Structure 1
Amino acid sequence: MTNLLREIAKSSEEITFVLDGTEPDAQCTLGQVIGRTASRFPQRAAIVSTGFAPLTYGDLQRRLDDIRGQLRVGGFDCSARIGVLMPFGPEAVLAIVAVACCSIAVPLDPRLSPVEVDLRFGMLHLNALLVPQGSDTEARQAAERRGIAIIEAVPAYGGQLGLDVPVRAADRAAIDAEPAPHSPAFILQTSGTTAQPKLIPFSHSNMLAASARLQAWFGLTHQDRCLSVSPPFYSHGLKVTVFTPLLTGGSIAVPANNAIVALDEWLDCLSPTWYSAGPALHAAMLDKVSSLADVRVAHTLRFIVSGGAPLLPDVRDGLQRVLGVPVLEHYGSSEAAQIAANLPPPGPNRPGTCGQPPPGTLAIAGEDGRFLTAGERGEIWIRGPTVFSGYLDAPELNQAAFVGGWFRTGDIGSLDEDGFLSLHGRLGELINRGG
């Protein structure tokens, strides 16, 4: 552990789990870590949104316990795969978190076409599908045709964020066992134009390692609040902007409308200290904030994170100039969460690169599998506690994707003399949409 990480861990007793670079307590689950914060700091805000009163960690724990209990009565145990098909918003965030803490959450993008959704139903082997109360979509009808149990999420009333998930009592209630730390907390799906989706199980241990890594990189504490504007149905939105804040004892700010950059809500009402998104949203943000006077003193941001595609220097420099906070580019994948990042000052930061990976977790390999030296371009191989165990139901794909404990990302990159990573494209033609 570096001196910086030692100081962070020593100076804040309220950090949810001890930092050691990348390895949190491997015996914990997501629910146990959130529950630890809830028991120690029940009045601390966990999820805030302009449409609801702030949901405290104590309230969140009660919501998680209620949903867990209802699912168990319905016969859904910790290995049950439960799809969550809800519009982006605080209810969807709560539903995905609740299911992932007690069973296996399968977030589904409501923007997918009926054909795409039906394809996923055929691959995912869902035990149930969670949908908004009263919904009558083609996706629900497709699930019913396949015999997938439908669970309607009933929203709480009185200005409170909450969900009731009444299920028909099973002949025999499920055993209320805690998931195993290395079992999947959620299953993600890739999306491309040249191949059917690949199913990515991400375990509790993977997610805890990923959040510990982000906590170490960005110095996250309970005082940080993430503006969650990336869809939670895909890797970045779920891992970086939903679970990482909750697992580090911070809070999530979910806007009522993420389709437009509403500065009065996003930066004023919700008061985030950071947000992470792709270049398109950063460009829209710059366009909005550039016309405001005294915007530097009107916001609470301390840093911004960018990933998914190269960020134009003009956008990066413009946001840093107008908002007065660092814009940090990073690199991640659905199979491994965040892999490399530039850090806030005084940490290492080289604009135009993806930052540095943790030692021993990334290599650049040539076509013959030989590891290349600084400046040489090749395929990015990764390993470590954030890397998933393999695609579901795809033995041949896994055989090709893993080599000697390394996962082949399919991305082309290079490392400079100081270990900063640059991306140069993809080996194949697969296009990731939305994630």
Structure 2
Amino acid sequence: MSTSSANGQHALNLFHILCEQATRVPEQVAIAAPGRSPMTYRHLIQRLNRMQEALHSLGIGRNDRVAVALPPGPELAVALLGVASTATCVPMHPADEDLDTHLGHLHIKAMILPFGAKNSAHADVHRHGISVLELTPVPDTEAGFFALNGHTRFTPAAQELPTDDDLALILPPRETGPYAQPMHVTHANLSLAAWQVAARLKLDMSDRCLSLVPPFQSHGLVAGLLASLMVGAQVVCPPDFQADTFFQWLEACRPSWYTAEPRMHEAIMEHAPQYDERIRRCPLRFIRSASGALTPRVSRALERIFRAPVIDAHGTTEMIGQLGEPYGHSNTLSAPRREAWATASPAAVNA
């Protein structure tokens, strides 16, 4: 794994890291989705280059703030990467009840929304004088391939890419109020956080992550998406989570691990008994949980069902705490424990 720049230092700029992976493993799959053709690292960089050109032509460049409010899926992942590689990305939940408040405080220059989705978000955006860019997926092509259209009142921006110390992300606060503050994350912060997750989980390019948490959340963005891309591994970006559909994705995509929130794990646990044979055909190396407390009962049940260790991460979003030390905590993935579960016999789910 090579991550060094020309001066011998580790690359800490998200786009530069992805370019290095595209040079190292160009035909390796980067982004995948159920029922779609995968996107390689070479094609991912091509898409990011196209997006940089499009944003620059619309007057959006380094340090400008662009919000992205799209539904879960590979287009969301590539759009977030493209914006962060060009400007400052502000990921937003498309159904966030506090969207209007966030738009009033975060100095957004443009916002990417789904094509044709004339909902309350459009009204909020126009009320704040923010330019709308509409994203149209192209479903018969590679996962993450889309068209981006829109108009702005700005002159073309300088073709200058962000530096390590520029803001890659601004994460809106989860709550509103006088003390609620957005989280500002530089490229260096973001890359080091993702590297930390990849190291803790011993990820390499043979891994394939099924990320059930959308990347408009820090859990899904850093641990689900970026940690894998840091090492040239694959990420499966499915649409909205449904417990029954998870087991279809498990067999179709054959991930080596998945990451999810506690409520998702509970739903998977409850539906698992009817998919026992499918689970046996699709072994996992480990399971990761974050974004809340996973109860010991659910953790033990998942380990027995999948015969794989559960890595439970804790922390605060404000400190990117779900990523592990030093901003939070998670149990480790030890080789002896992994081997023990690989040879264990199935047990009752709630034993």
Whole-Å Cα distance in 2 between the matches of residues 169 and 39 of structure 1?
Answer: 34
Whole-Å Cα distance in 1 between the matches of residues 101 and 276 of structure 2?
Answer: 50
The equivalent of 1:80 in structure 2 is 64
The equivalent of 1:208 in structure 2 is 191
List aligned pairs for 1:3-402, cutoff 5 A. 15-17=1-3, 25=9, 27-113=11-97, 116-156=98-138, 158-161=140-143, 162-168=145-151, 172-192=155-175, 197-295=180-278, 297-337=280-320, 338=323, 339-346=328-335
For normalisation by structure 1, the TM-score amounts to 0.71
- Deviation for aligned residue 1:160: 2.8
- Deviation for aligned residue 1:59: 1.2
- Structure 1 pair 347/148, CA: closer, same or farther in 2 (3 Å)? farther
Whole-Å Cα distance in 2 between the matches of residues 146 and 169 of structure 1?
Answer: 14
Count the aligned residue pairs.
328
- Name the larger-Rg structure: 1
Q: Deviations over 1:78-111 (max 9, x none)?
A: 1110011111222112111111111111111112
Q: Deviations over 1:136-173 (max 9, x none)?
A: 11111221122111111122253333122234476642
- Structure 1 pair 39/167, CA: closer, same or farther in 2 (3 Å)? farther
One-letter amino acid matched to 2:3: F
- Structure 1 pair 141/290, CA: closer, same or farther in 2 (3 Å)? same
Whole-Å Cα distance in 1 between the matches of residues 66 and 262 of structure 2?
Answer: 32
Q: Deviations over 1:38-75 (max 9, x none)?
A: 12222111111124211111111111110110000111
Q: Give the gaps of 5 or more residues in structure 2.
A: 339-351
* Percent of residue pairs bearing the same amino acid type: 27
Whole-Å Cα distance in 2 between the matches of residues 342 and 17 of structure 1?
Answer: 26
Whole-Å Cα distance in 2 between the matches of residues 25 and 99 of structure 1?
Answer: 24
Which is helix-richer, 1 or 2?
2
One-letter amino acid matched to 1:341: S
- Deviation for aligned residue 1:231: 2.4
Aligned to 1:213, the other structure's residue is in SS state helix
Whole-Å Cα distance in 2 between the matches of residues 310 and 54 of structure 1?
Answer: 33
Q: Does structure 2 conserve the Cα–Cα contact (< 8 Å) formed by 1:26 and 1:181?
A: no
One-letter amino acid matched to 2:206: Q
For normalisation by structure 2, the TM-score amounts to 0.87
Q: Give the gaps of 5 or more residues in structure 1.
A: 1-14, 19-23, 350-435
Whole-Å Cα distance in 2 between the matches of residues 348 and 102 of structure 1?
Answer: 42
